[in-house]
Amino acid sequence: MKVIFAAGGTGGHIFPAVAIAEALRGKRPDVEARFVLGAGGKGARFLEPTGFAWDSIPMKGMPRKNLLRLIPFAWNLARSLVSALGLLRRERPAAVVAMGGYPSAPVSLAAAMLRLPVYVAEQNRAPGLATKWNARFARTIFLAFEGSRRFFPAGKECAVTGNPVRPAIFDFDSARAHARWELDPNR
């Protein structure tokens, strides 16, 4: 079973996606996770150590101050949607998980057009524009905070699951850390 994770290029989007992908793979070894990033694969450096495959679409951020830049943005969005449609048709995922960031928006729309299930994960207290957009296509929105429900339509299914964290985060040697940073282990 293939799952596509659509994310912006920051660690704030990618690391929680990796945590979800690893958890899915732990429960079902047949899960194949693939990532879709924006404009040239910014953020791929976070994926390299994980071994997860990734693709990029030409999506870039939306201009908010200079309205004249909305014209090239609209063109870029259209190109990204076509790219996302082609990628989803080629990969044939069972589902798409939108992690936020502008690149997730055309992937969510493409998934909805192809009638693929879309799930949204919101790691922050307040969602960004892309997450609000993605929510309209979502079967379920997974939230880190209970208070985030108010940002989504009343009838939309939301589940408060907390913030996904990779198990490797908890795999550390405290004695070595105390020594490395010259910390008092009794404090």
For residue 10, which of 130, 137, 145 has the smallest C-alpha distance? Answer: 130
CA angle 163, 99, 153 (to 5 degrees): 85
Distance CA 77, CA 71 (A): 10
Domain boundaries, the chain: 2-180
> Parallel, antiparallel, or unpaired: how do β-strands 138-143 and 158-160 relate?
parallel
pLDDT of residue 113: 98
Owner of token pair 């994926």: 47
Higher-scoring residue by pLDDT: 180, 143: 143
Please write the tens of the pLDDT for every residue from 138-161. 999 999 999 999 999 988 999 999
d(CA 91, CA 4): 9
Write down the pLDDT at residue 175.
83
Contacts of 85 (CB under 8 A, 6+ apart): 110, 113, 114
Sign of CA dihedral 84, 85, 91, 96: positive
CATH 3.40.50.620 fits 2-180, yes or no: no
Q: Which residues pair with 118 in a beta bridge?
A: 96, 138
Q: Look up the pTM and report it.
A: 0.88
Q: Which tens digits make up the pLDDT trace of 64-113?
A: 888 788 888 899 999 999 999 999 999 999 999 999 999 999 999 999 99
Edge-to-edge strand ranges of the sheet holding 53-57: 53-57, 32-38, 2-6, 95-98, 118-122, 138-143, 158-160
The per-residue pLDDT for range 41-59, each reduced to its tens digit, is 788 999 999 999 999 999 9
pLDDT at residue 114, rounded to an integer: 98
**Per-position DSSP letters for 105-161, written without gaps between them:** HHHHHHHHHTT--EEEEE-SSS--HHHHHHHTTEEEEEES-GGGGGGS-TTS-EEE-
Q: How many CB atoms lie within 10 A of CB 135?
A: 20
- Higher model confidence: residue 170 or residue 39? 39
* Pairwise CA distance, residues 98 & 4, whole Å: 8
